[in-house]
Structure 1
Amino acid sequence: MVPGFRVRIIPVMGSIPAIFGLVMSSYVVTQLAGLQVETEPIINLDIDHYRVLHQRLIEHEESLYGTAEEVQVDVEEVMYIAKELWHGRSARQQSAKDVGRGMWRSVNELMLVRWDQTKPASVSNLVLLKFNEADEHESRTLDDIKEKEPDFFNRVASVLKRAEMDFGL
């Protein structure tokens, strides 16, 4: 708390005013503290978007490896990967640039691909990338990415580690 300022909590009735009050008080406190807060967009795609991502993954695996036997995720796990891990945007995109209709359009340009091509397509080995990024990713080795783009490599490794922990792998 910043010295000289007093924060007063006023009880409110009902959940919407309470949520609004909580958001506003959080905003005021972060502004007083000089903190910059970047909010995450709320990603609410319908189940058809996740089915499309899952189907793209299967088709891509079949075209690249001749089979989709190593796809170890279902539509619900694709939902977790796209929504919780990658926030509905490419792993190469660090912050939310597209919101609203722009985000809906960008989702249609995304696909799931293996991070490590030597391992199966599982919850802890899939990244969400744009089509052209997926092609580039698959033409490189992880060692090459680690050497030339260490920040990107470490960020993706961290996100995939979270998936391992969330799924107890």
Structure 2
Amino acid sequence: MGAGTKSDPTKIVVGDIGTSTDDGLSRATRRRLKLVGVTAGIPVVYSTEKMGEGKAALLPLPDEEFQKGSVGDLGPLPDFRVRILPVLGTMPAVFGYTVANHIILKITGYPLEYAQGKARDKMYDGILAFVQSSEEKIVRASPGAPSDIGVGLKVPITTGDIAFLVEELYRGRSVVTGIPTKLVLVRWQKPAAGSTLVRISDGETTEQKSSNLKLRDLVCMTKDEATRHQKEVLQGDKTLADLYGPEVIELVERRQKEAGAYEQYR
């Protein structure tokens, strides 16, 4: 992964990409992988060194670069500013030696233990079940909808999507309070009545029912916060501004833009 702004060779480790932290390149790679359902199983070399006061950071972009046009067009990722990332000359070599050492050990069959990945599959399954239940409630709340309208409803979200949203987009914290435990995903905005159900029929007996849910529609909250959100916003008459301050709403809007940009990779 990235050697930029890193300076401590003792913090370099070999581990599963699912365990990598404090690495911008790793985060961007995990996002792409999780959108295609890959959450672990790829060995990487990364640094656990954290940023701190006095340490290297992205260099400012000269004014003349802005005068040349839209510098964002040259960025490898949306909203990624085209700037120079300082690299200490010795660190890429340390990364390279670590990679070479790992490959030699792997080829020769020498015993090697990876850092254990995050055992969070059950958590992702639970969050997906919450999303499914929430979408069924929204469909059943449509005026005139039969009681069994939610039976067989499919949600176009995978556990890989869940991992991406929770871990990468919302950094494993509630967007409302920042609490990192008992997290779920829930629709942010109240959809128009009857607008979420997509029905496809063969004209005879078979009918497929699905939700039109998108990644950018979901936000990360604790279960208690999401339950209140469902009751007062999705099923009630309160607006987002009634429950949340402008800083929370602005943060969600930024995260939604990120999610929308990455949906093209699904």
Instruction: Please give the TM-score of this superposition, normalised by the length of structure 2.
Output: 0.42
Superposition RMSD in Å? 3.8
Aligned to 2:77: none
Aligned to 1:112: 185
Aligned to 1:50: 124
User: Unaligned stretches of 5+ in structure 1?
Assistant: 1-8, 32-42, 98-102
Aligned to 2:248: 152
Q: Secondary structure at the match of 2:233?
A: coil
More strand by share: 2
Change in Cα spacing, 1:144 to 1:76, as seen in structure 2 (3 Å) is: same
- Asked whether the 8 Å contact 1:71–1:122 carries over to 2, the reply is no
Aligned to 2:199: none
Structure (1 or 2) with the larger CA radius of gyration: 2
Aligned to 1:163: 259
Matched, 1:61 2:61: no
CA–CA distance in structure 1, aligned partners of residues 136 and 213 of structure 2: 12
Deviation at 1:93, TM superposition (A): 2.5
CA–CA distance in structure 1, aligned partners of residues 9 and 222 of structure 2: 45
- Work out the percentage of aligned pairs sharing the same amino acid: 17
- Asked whether the 8 Å contact 2:189–2:217 carries over to 1, the reply is yes
CA–CA distance in structure 1, aligned partners of residues 135 and 248 of structure 2: 24
Deviation at 1:50, TM superposition (A): 0.8
2:233 equivalent among 125, 140, 152: 140
1:36-90 per-residue CA deviation (whole Å, 9 max, x = no partner) reads xxxxxxx934222111111121123223433274632111111111111112221
Instruction: Please give the TM-score of this superposition, normalised by the length of structure 1.
Output: 0.61
More helix by share: 1
CA–CA distance in structure 1, aligned partners of residues 185 and 10 of structure 2: 44
User: Unaligned stretches of 5+ in structure 2?
Assistant: 1-5, 14-44, 57-116, 141-149, 197-211
Deviates more, 1:138-147 or 1:57-66: 138-147
In structure 2, what residue type is equivalent to 1:71?
Answer: V
CA–CA distance in structure 2, aligned partners of residues 73 and 11 of structure 1: 39
Matched, 1:129 2:221: yes
CA–CA distance in structure 1, aligned partners of residues 175 and 53 of structure 2: 31
